[in-house]
A and B are shown apart, each in its own frame.
Chain A
Amino acid sequence: MIEIAVLFAISCVGLAMALNLWRLARGPTTADRILALDTMTINAIALMVLMQIQQGSAVYFEAALLLAMVGFVGTVAYCKFLLRGDIIE
């Protein structure tokens, strides 16, 4: 039962990442592309958590934590660059 539920959730998150990719390629403004990339990072974290439930191993936790931190820093850096034309002033 859990196997089927995990498979369903992984399919949903994979489809969600495809939708994010569509928005990333198409998004009319630069802020749209930043938002799509940030959502893709969050979906990747969800995918890692689901993968380790499926495999029964806890080796992806550090990767998911690192992705959470680096994704946030990257998004803020993109926004600062758009706002100020520079990241560290």
Chain B
Amino acid sequence: MMLDAGPIEILISAILVVGGFFALVGSWGLARMPSLMTRLHGPTKVTTLGVGSCLIASMIYFPATQGKYSAHELLITLFLFLTAPITANMIAKAHLHRQGRSIDPNPMDDIAEGLPETGLGTGWATFEGQDAERADPPR
């Protein structure tokens, strides 16, 4: 369905171009960054700016052309924005634990020999309680 050439069409087109650009830039960063902790930055741009712009464009496009409004886009946005930090945290945690046991060495990370000290007198929070748990007999 065609729109009249007008401000709404220009707005939707601009948002779509921005969304596609940021999706490409985020994935380019994922492909080009040197280590996993830096690679985690790229997909956050894909999630927030890339998919967010596409969903905003869809939220403007369907009421403007077909006159019907739906809340599906808001649901997808809410779910993606809630789950993206949890996903990044889990991936970083899995990476740290694999590095700490030197199972999965990545020489670009500078932590292949083990994590540095935190400088606070305590250990890394993600490794707290692991030794005690290992000392426990299996239940």
Closest to B27 in A: A16
Count of chain A residues with a beta carbon within 8 Å of a chain B beta carbon:
52
Instruction: Please tell me if the beta carbons of A72 and B87 are within 8 angstroms of each other in the complex.
Output: yes
CB distance from A80 to the nearest CB of B (A): 8
Instruction: Please tell me if the beta carbons of A46 and B50 are within 8 angstroms of each other in the complex.
Output: yes
CB distance from A61 to the nearest CB of B (A): 4
Instruction: Please tell me if the beta carbons of B43 and A45 are within 8 angstroms of each other in the complex.
Output: no
Tell me the chain A residues, 54-89 only, with Cβ under 8 Å from chain B. 56, 58, 61-62, 64-65, 68-69, 72, 75-76, 78-80, 82-83
Contact of B31 among A1, A19, A30 (CB under 8 A): A19
Closest to A68 in B: B79
With an 8 A cutoff between CB atoms, is B86 at the interface? Answer: yes
Return chain A residues, CB-CB under 8 Å to B1: 56
With an 8 A cutoff between CB atoms, is B115 at the interface? Answer: no
CA distance A12 to B30 in the complex (A): 15
CB distance from A20 to the nearest CB of B (A): 5
Contact of B30 among A19, A72, A75 (CB under 8 A): A19
Closest to B90 in A: A79
Instruction: Please tell me if the beta carbons of A4 and B13 are within 8 angstroms of each other in the complex.
Output: yes
- A6-B16, A9-B20, A50-B54 given; 12 more Cβ-contact pairs under 8 Å: A1-B10, A2-B9, A12-B23, A16-B26, A16-B28, A31-B104, A56-B1, A56-B65, A58-B62, A58-B72, A72-B87, A76-B86
- Can you list 14 contacts pairing A with B, beta carbon distance less than 8 Å? A8-B16, A13-B23, A16-B24, A19-B27, A29-B36, A32-B39, A34-B94, A35-B30, A50-B54, A56-B66, A61-B72, A61-B73, A62-B72, A78-B94
